[in-house]
Amino acid sequence: MRFCIAATFTDAMARLTAQEQKAVKTTAFDLQINPASPGLKFHRIDKSKDPNFWSVRVNDDIRLVVHKSAASLLLVYAGHHHDAYHWAERRKIEQHPTTGAMQLVEIRERVEEAAPRAYGVAEPPPAAAAPSKARLFENLRKLELMAFGVPEEWVDTVRGADEDSLFDIIIHLPQEAQEALLKLAVGEKPEPPKAIPAGSDPLRHPDAQRRFRILTNAEELERALEFPWEKWAVFLHPDQRALVERSFPGPARVSGSAGTGKTIVALHRAVHLGRRATAGRVLLTTFSTALAQALKFRLGHLIGNEPEVAQRIDVEAINDTALRLYTARFGAPVMATEPDVQALIAQASPKLSAGSFTERFLHGEWDDVVDAWNLLSWEDYRDVSRLGRKARIGGKQREALWAVFADVRAGLAAKALVTWPDLFARLTAALPGGGERPYESVVADEAQDFGVPQIRFLAALAGGREDGLFFAGDLGQRIFQTPFSWKTLGIDVRGRSSTLRINYRTAHQIRAQADRLLPQSITDVDGLVESRRGTISVFDTAPPQTEIFPNAEGEAKSVAAWIAERRRDGYAPHEIGVFVRSDAELDRARRAVAQSGNDAVELGDAAVGAAGKVSVGTMHMAKGLEFRGVVVMACDDRVLPLQTRIEAVSDESDLEEVYNTERHLLYVACTRARDRLFVTGVSPGSEFLADFAAS
């Protein structure tokens, strides 16, 4: 008999107490080992429309709901006695007659209660009927809706949906039907799911696998139940699963706006490659140590009970990986600091004619061009395209500039100092052509924030191997690196680039409003387009709040009240995050949290995410995180965009890049919110808020 688990089971189990969850797990393991054990007490749920629904006793109060047939046993719900029976009485599991996918269908019931009438009181005249809104799917026939996975008994209800009732209806439908209807509602033309051949296993349908998982051993059940709220560890969208398991003949990339599951794909991809690897190793990497630690923690959810797979996967920030490999090959380097470089530039800059270039320009040219591209000679600098630098300079000017940068290079060499691009370049050059490499495959998350040295290194590390490189990222969240061509560095993802468009993390209203901060599509230097068109969120919430206050005291008081209200709504402290643009505004966030009666923990601290504390931090530190409720504070005029960044621009043509990345930062911070978002500032507010709050 096959043993399976449904996503609804993990949802229900997560709502129980820790002691109740422990008892549920014990009974679930007993069921998997021997479902016919005389110690297990099965009772048919007589009032259920599905004759295969049974309850299994856990203790005096808790019951499991299972779907039992001759071929399989499926765990579908866990809860208190009354709740469990009530849940089962309103659902059934059946194979969809059109798509062939196994679905858990909510019974369509219409209950109308007449309002009590007070005798002897005149009945008021009927109110004028409000004008009816257009029905969204009235032009679609029954079979057309069923082709998208709509259960037959829900077709009439769906055909009556308008823009006000749509979200109230779709929450009762299977996920594939939800997604199709949302796309249809915004003018998209989704492809119906492919129907499986007659006689095929309905649990093997890609859409069925996003809600039902066939478990082949006790380790898989243990992994599914260890962190029941982390459904991403067990159930994948068909588009995500296809990217995880597909073989790519060259570098591949998955993109998508915030909340579409790029990191989930990266994690599952690393595990898939780790399970497949025999002698080689897999590197799962990102641009910062903090994010790498978050990836490592989540990886434990996936393979905590597969130590042999975990041992094949290294999870590190890309700079940490490079430093480790460099040290093993060449010895520990002495890294050049920013003050070291600034001093060398200041010493060499008198070679230039007075007033020709500012020191700010020289620092930018060194960081973005000379050092980033590891330019070592006049010929290299003469011929470089200077992508990302808007100010144009002629040949004579380049010649004069190189005299300065040549002195900086000589000064670094004399002190035996190494910059990060130097380290990456030497390590890249040392990789053997076609020979053995440290890693068989590399999966890189948040790849939009990798720089030229890192991309060059990864291209050499992969060596053109099949499934050697897999990137996940979003150009709309690029906040660290200036644009450059990946193709010129040996990484061409054309034909192997995919976009995820289903957002399960961020509510419709929050996602739609945050998207106003960015263009509908962004094109990279190589011409690849990342579009936000067609992205949908599968749940809705209250619209984001935006408010500008006359002073910081008023802002803190309002934010404190908002946090207190979320706590009354049942939000745990660690489910709330407060973000500001920079360290200079952190005190405003701390004061607001303190006034709300809660403790704060700063992002990056070891205790971040600890129960009982609200997370506070800068927008940069928010990347890769998510919270039920988010406050984005201190969106003042000279804070966002940050005035010091604007003043540091050496050429007006570089302002566009500053404004773009500042917008990206606000987008990142806002899209950390799942259910509620509050954006605040002190008058005059940031100019970006006019776009964000536009209706």
User: pLDDT for 482-496, tens place per residue?
Assistant: 778 888 888 999 889
- Whether 515 shows a pLDDT value over 80: the answer reads yes
Q: How far apart are CA 352 and CA 401, in angstroms?
A: 7
Identify whether residues 323 and 468 lie together within a single domain. Answer: yes
- Whether 651 shows a pLDDT value over 70: the answer reads no
Banded pLDDT at 224 (limits 50, 70, 90): confident
Which pLDDT score is estimated for 241? Answer: 92
Which pLDDT score is estimated for 343? Answer: 95
Looking at the domain assignment, is residue 147 inside a domain? no
Q: How far is CA 587 from CA 590, 596, 605, in A?
A: 5, 14, 16
What CATH number corresponds to the domain at position 665?
A: 3.40.50.300
Identify whether residues 215 and 91 lie together within a single domain. Answer: yes
Residue type at 20? E
Q: What is the DSSP string of 600-668?
A: EEETTSTTTT-TTEEEEEETGGGTT--EEEEEE---BTTTTTTHHHHHT-SSGGGHHHHHHHHHHHHHH
**Mean pLDDT, rounded, for 646-663:** 76
- Whether 666 shows a pLDDT value over 60: the answer reads yes
Which pLDDT score is estimated for 234? Answer: 81
Contact 243, 262 (CB under 8 A): no
Looking at the domain assignment, is residue 511 inside a domain? no
Looking at the domain assignment, is residue 269 inside a domain? yes
Sheet bearing 576-580, strands edge to edge = 545-549, 673-682, 627-632, 576-580, 613-618, 599-602
Q: What tokens does 71 get?
A: 């071929």
Burial (CB < 10 A; 0-12, 13-18, 19+), residue 461, is buried
Note the pLDDT tens digit of each residue in 247-292.
999 999 999 888 888 999 999 999 999 998 777 899 999 988 888 9
Banded pLDDT at 58 (limits 50, 70, 90): very high
% of the chain with per-residue pLDDT over 70: 92
Tokens 């948040």 belong to 446
Q: Three-class SS of residue 78?
A: strand
What lies within 8 Å, CB to CB, of 371 at 6+ separation is 341, 419, 421, 422
- Whether 31 shows a pLDDT value over 80: the answer reads yes
How wide is the angle at C-alpha 235 spanned by C-alphas 233 and 237, nearest 5°? Answer: 120
Contact 361, 390 (CB under 8 A): no
Banded pLDDT at 303 (limits 50, 70, 90): confident
Identify whether residues 481 and 620 lie together within a single domain. Answer: no
Nearest alpha carbon to residue 344 among 258, 286, 415: 415
Domain that holds residue 378: 338-417
673 or 433, higher pLDDT: 673
Looking at the domain assignment, is residue 536 inside a domain? no
- Whether 306 shows a pLDDT value over 90: the answer reads no
- Whether 119 shows a pLDDT value over 50: the answer reads no
- Candidate from 112-121, 157-166, 378-387, 416-425 with smallest mean pLDDT: 112-121
Q: What tokens does 75 get?
A: 């765990």
Looking at the domain assignment, is residue 521 inside a domain? no
Looking at the domain assignment, is residue 162 inside a domain? no
- Whether 615 shows a pLDDT value over 70: the answer reads yes
**503, 526, 557 — which closes off a domain?**
503
Identify whether residues 324 and 348 lie together within a single domain. Answer: no
Pairing of strands 62-68, 53-57: antiparallel
Which pLDDT score is estimated for 389? Answer: 58
**417, 437, 464 — which closes off a domain?**
417
- Candidate from 26-40, 225-239, 616-630, 648-662 with smallest mean pLDDT: 648-662
Say how many C-beta atoms besides its own lie within 10 A of residue 44's C-beta. 12
Banded pLDDT at 695 (limits 50, 70, 90): low
Looking at the domain assignment, is residue 23 inside a domain? yes
What CATH number corresponds to the domain at position 83?
A: 3.30.2310.20
Banded pLDDT at 391 (limits 50, 70, 90): low
114 or 451, higher pLDDT: 451
Identify whether residues 347 and 326 lie together within a single domain. Answer: no
The count of structural domains within the chain is 4
- Whether 691 shows a pLDDT value over 80: the answer reads yes
- pTM (2 d.p.): 0.83
Q: How far apart are CA 296 and CA 651, in angstroms?
A: 41
Note the pLDDT tens digit of each residue in 145-155.
999 999 999 99
Q: How far apart are CA 91 and CA 50, in angstroms?
A: 7
Identify whether residues 252 and 386 lie together within a single domain. Answer: no
**Mean pLDDT, rounded, for 225-234:** 76
- Whether 499 shows a pLDDT value over 60: the answer reads yes
Identify whether residues 390 and 451 lie together within a single domain. Answer: no
Identify whether residues 304 and 359 lie together within a single domain. Answer: no
- Candidate from 234-243, 553-562, 604-613 with smallest mean pLDDT: 604-613
Identify whether residues 348 and 442 lie together within a single domain. Answer: no
Which pLDDT score is estimated for 116? Answer: 41
Q: How far apart are CA 271 and CA 300, in angstroms?
A: 10
**417, 437, 471 — which closes off a domain?**
417
Average pLDDT of every residue of the chain:
88
Nearest alpha carbon to residue 678 among 628, 637, 615: 628
Q: How far apart are CA 524 and CA 494, in angstroms?
A: 12
- Whether 374 shows a pLDDT value over 70: the answer reads yes
Residue type at 5? I
- Whether 309 shows a pLDDT value over 50: the answer reads yes
Identify whether residues 490 and 348 lie together within a single domain. Answer: no
- Whether 448 shows a pLDDT value over 60: the answer reads yes
Identify whether residues 386 and 445 lie together within a single domain. Answer: no
Radius of gyration of the chain (CA): 29
Half-sphere exposure of 345 (CA within 13 A, CB side): 20
Identify whether residues 473 and 596 lie together within a single domain. Answer: no
Q: How far apart are CA 147 and CA 191, in angstroms?
A: 9
What lies within 8 Å, CB to CB, of 233 at 6+ separation is 223, 224, 227, 298, 301, 302
Looking at the domain assignment, is residue 368 inside a domain? yes
307 or 282, higher pLDDT: 282
Which pLDDT score is estimated for 122? Answer: 44
